[in-house]
Structure 1
Amino acid sequence: MTDSLADIDALALKCRAERSRDYIAESIQCYRAGAYRSSIVHTWIAVVFDLVDKIRELALANDPIAVRINTKYETYITQINQGNDQGVKNALEFERTILSICRSQLDFFNHQQITDLERLREDRHQCAHPSFQRAGVPHRPSAELARLHLRNAVEHVLSQPPIQGRPAIAEIITTIASEYFPKDRYQAATALRQTPLANPSEALVRGLVDELVFKYAEADSPLYGKIQVGAALSSLLDTHRNIAETRIAQKLSTLVRRIDDNGLPAVARLIAAIPEAVALIDEAARLRLSEFVRVGPDLDVLPAMAGLGRHPLITEIVRARILRFGTGLLVTAIQEHELAELAKERVFVIISESSNWHETNDVFDRLVSPLFSHLTRDDIERVIRMPTETTADLIGSNRFEQFIDQVSRTGIIPEAELDTLLGNNRMEYLVRERQRERERQRVVPQA
């Protein structure tokens, strides 16, 4: 029993507000005394009072649904104070239906939560109404049942903020629409933990997905074209995948299929910002995206190519598109759109076709240097072999020699192996120059 009482005390500390802890205090006192019928009755009273407080709080925040509900409730209280019996009947009906009102109109509860709370209400009736029992046989709930109802009341109601449904979505949308909302999915998840998404209902997650997806494409929306929407949707996949994944798949598929050609580039950027999205959308949407990547205007397609190119179904289309790029567009792709990995093959082709030192120097300046950190040993060896395997005019190019110096400094290829590779590809002069330089570095100046 000691452990059980300690558990109950810990539950009470979870109550969001001091008033909520006051509401549940009588129930806990009854539980401690072994008065389990009274404990259940007071638990129900605590739930009703707390829900009424939440409705009032939302009404003060100008939530239209809460305002309507609270106005009715205040009318009933006024009638009671005036001695009007109709007010008593209305208030009793309000209490009887308060769970369904909060579920259907305010999205406070999911299916399991409403089931638990309806059981509390039914057990309260069993405890509070002798007419529900056979004569002389009062209902005798167990300690476990009373403790279960206490736990459910605190977990489902008293510990929760009064923000769900449309007001919650509006609050989250405002947060995401800020220019300072993170663009990284993991940082976005951290930011969203300070919103109603910290403990959302299923309806809230589904409604938020709908708003994020469709408001992203609406010109008068604060979310219009904002790439942080992708970070927010990605974080929902991390934190609430069982609810969000199917919804995101459905809504993104619908958006891709229905958006007009002018709006498709922005939607493609959204899909590209969510790594899982290409695999989630349906086949018709994926085919439209693929065709956009294949034939869309260069400047429209470029911003989405890196993200879309991560998926095997679209990677080859991206590679084929890049193989048609000229040097200028390729520079933009590498330096501004993170397409280095996918662009390497096209860069190698351009190097292999350089016919003079001017072209070679230009290629190494504008393409190879920005690409260097992405080059593997095999890539570097391929470049060095080009004078013997292609028509590339690399021998004597000062930018190519600087490239070899950079390879040497990074140690990607050991010095001896690098000399051998250069010598085997008509660049013995470079080997001699490198050897002389090493000799100079070994000479210690005399005092």
Structure 2
Amino acid sequence: MLNLEDRINHVWNPDVRPLVAEAYRCYSSGSPRAVIVLTWTAVCGDLIHKLYQLAEDGEGRAETVTKNIDGASEKGGGEAVKAMQAIESALLQTAMDLELIDFTEKELLDRLQRDRNLCAHPSLRPLGQLFTPTLDYARAHLATALEAVLTHPPSQGRKVIERFAHHVAAHDFVDSPQHVLLTFYDRVKPATRAKVVDLAAKHAVLELDVADRKAWQVADHHAACLRAFADRDRELAATAVAKAVGRLPSRPASVQLRALLRLGEFDLFVTPMGAAMWNHFETLLAARLPDATRPDALMTEEESALAALVAVDHLRARMPSLDTKFQNMNFLQASQTIVHRPTAPYFRPVVILVAANSPDPEDAVKNILLPIAPSLTESELRSLLGKNSSLKESPTAVRWLWSASGHHDSRVWEELVLDVSTRAPDRLQNFSLLVSSIARRDEAGRLAMEPLIELIREQMTEEPIMTTGFDTRADNADQ
């Protein structure tokens, strides 16, 4: 049974809440007629307030009614009462026309209005009989009013759905889960809420066409909203996603693959997918991604993102050929793939190898290593900066890696600059700020770096080559 006392605390309009609380007190004290009269008064006050809200938002029909209300208030006396009675008699129809209530709710509230008249005007009954509703009957009216009107903001069915579609399709859309939930979930009625979630699921999975916008971009926006809705109501989102997934086989192959890319990590998308669909996905991926017969083929951005799905454990388990595809990739293809998920544990061993041998060390550090740099072990750093590493030949790449790693005190850096001083002493000045930072580390570092600092001092010109450094306290190597 509905907990009326709890629902009263959720009455949307704070000005109406005292009326509802009074109606509940009347119910508790055994006064059913008072419950019905006060409940209807609260419904009228709530709906009129919502009409003013809609009028402020530019709803023309609501504005017409509110002007009539203002006109009635200005008349005063008997004329004002008659004018308000006319407005009140049409209030429920107006609310239904504006989609504040639906047909079923209007029927129930019509009954409340008729019963209110019977309670307030005993002469309406024949032969002087009084209308004597039971407490349970009065309670049912109060429960209906709470569920149909009083606990909801002024949200208009189709208008809410239209606003949601416009919001998601906007060029300046921002993924803000709290805003989406507040505007299109918390403040709408359950029936409309289900339609909003259903719309998000259909676009996210099926990539439906949208006027003047790229369907896949709007689908990405809907997917972000869908995840927010799922965090609030998994059952509602799961039902909507399952319905959309059932229609996915009829969509073009390109749409199917983008849906997999967009929602592959979303469990509500994965769960309803049957084995036949996973086999189909595997076949599509086999045709799209390079294999042993095309070892040098470059991948598009979308293809490399699809290949990176191999790092998702449950997708790799369902499509084992993804693992084979990745293992057969050449260096460049693997680099294209890893950049989409550089922090994935599956890629960790390959990340070190790819970054250490990249023909573009700075790009490798920026796109592959920086996301995982804080978690690199000392052993992994040695591999990255080892004997045959191309990365250590770039002072910029080394500087970025040093700044982002959590091993500033490691001897790896000392070994690096000593190696540079042996192999290419003329390039040592490019690593001057790393040398300076090591010298400041401790006494052992100072002693180890002193000869290198002297060498750098001899090489330095009036305009030092490096003007930004590993340690912001250092201006140059001899400070």
> Cα distance, 1:165 vs. partner?
2.9
Q: Which residue of 2 aligns with 1:257?
A: 249
Q: Which residue of 2 aligns with 1:81?
A: none
Q: Which residue of 2 aligns with 1:230?
A: 223
Shift of the 334–102 alpha-carbon distance from structure 1 to 2, 3 Å rule, reads same
What is the TM-score with the length of structure 1 in the denominator? 0.59
Alignment partners' CA distance in 2, 1:140 and 1:361: 83
The alignment status of 1:209 with 2:197, answered yes or no, reads yes
* Runs of at least 5 residues in structure 1 that lack an aligned partner in the other structure: 1-6, 67-90, 353-359, 388-393
Aligned residues: 379
One-letter code aligned to 1:224: A
The alignment status of 1:367 with 2:364, answered yes or no, reads yes
Q: Which residue of 1 aligns with 2:303?
A: 301
> Cα distance, 1:231 vs. partner?
0.8
> Cα distance, 1:168 vs. partner?
1.5
Shift of the 308–158 alpha-carbon distance from structure 1 to 2, 3 Å rule, reads farther
Q: Which residue of 2 aligns with 1:244?
A: 237
Aligned-partner SS, 1:200: coil
Q: Is the 8 A contact 1:223 1:229 kept in 2?
A: no
> Cα distance, 1:116 vs. partner?
8.7
Q: Is the 8 A contact 2:161 2:195 kept in 1?
A: yes
Q: Is the 8 A contact 1:24 1:46 kept in 2?
A: yes
Deviates more, 1:254-263 or 1:117-126: 117-126
> Cα distance, 1:263 vs. partner?
2.6
Shift of the 35–193 alpha-carbon distance from structure 1 to 2, 3 Å rule, reads same
Alignment partners' CA distance in 2, 1:180 and 1:235: 18
One-letter code aligned to 2:230: L
Q: Is the 8 A contact 2:33 2:119 kept in 1?
A: yes
> Cα distance, 1:169 vs. partner?
0.7
Shift of the 61–380 alpha-carbon distance from structure 1 to 2, 3 Å rule, reads same
Between the aligned residues of both structures, percent identity stands at 17
The alignment status of 1:181 with 2:173, answered yes or no, reads yes
Alignment partners' CA distance in 1, 2:250 and 2:381: 46
Shift of the 439–420 alpha-carbon distance from structure 1 to 2, 3 Å rule, reads closer
Aligned-partner SS, 2:387: coil
Aligned CA RMSD, in angstroms, stands at 5.9
Alignment partners' CA distance in 2, 1:317 and 1:157: 55
Shift of the 122–230 alpha-carbon distance from structure 1 to 2, 3 Å rule, reads same
Q: Which residue of 2 aligns with 1:171?
A: 163
Shift of the 120–376 alpha-carbon distance from structure 1 to 2, 3 Å rule, reads same
Alignment partners' CA distance in 1, 2:388 and 2:10: 80
Superposed CA offset, 1:295-353 (max 9, x none)? 32542333455568435233665544333444444444444x3445354444456579x
Shift of the 326–35 alpha-carbon distance from structure 1 to 2, 3 Å rule, reads same
Q: Which residue of 2 aligns with 1:439?
A: 447
**Residue 381 (structure 1) aligned to one of 379, 382, 386:** 379
What is the TM-score with the length of structure 2 in the denominator? 0.56
Q: Which residue of 2 aligns with 1:39?
A: 35
> Cα distance, 1:155 vs. partner?
5.4
The alignment status of 1:197 with 2:185, answered yes or no, reads yes
> Cα distance, 1:172 vs. partner?
1.1
Shift of the 282–235 alpha-carbon distance from structure 1 to 2, 3 Å rule, reads farther
Alignment partners' CA distance in 2, 1:310 and 1:154: 46
Alignment partners' CA distance in 2, 1:378 and 1:98: 67
Q: Is the 8 A contact 1:30 1:39 kept in 2?
A: yes
Matches within 5 A, 1:416-431: none
Q: Which residue of 2 aligns with 1:270?
A: 262
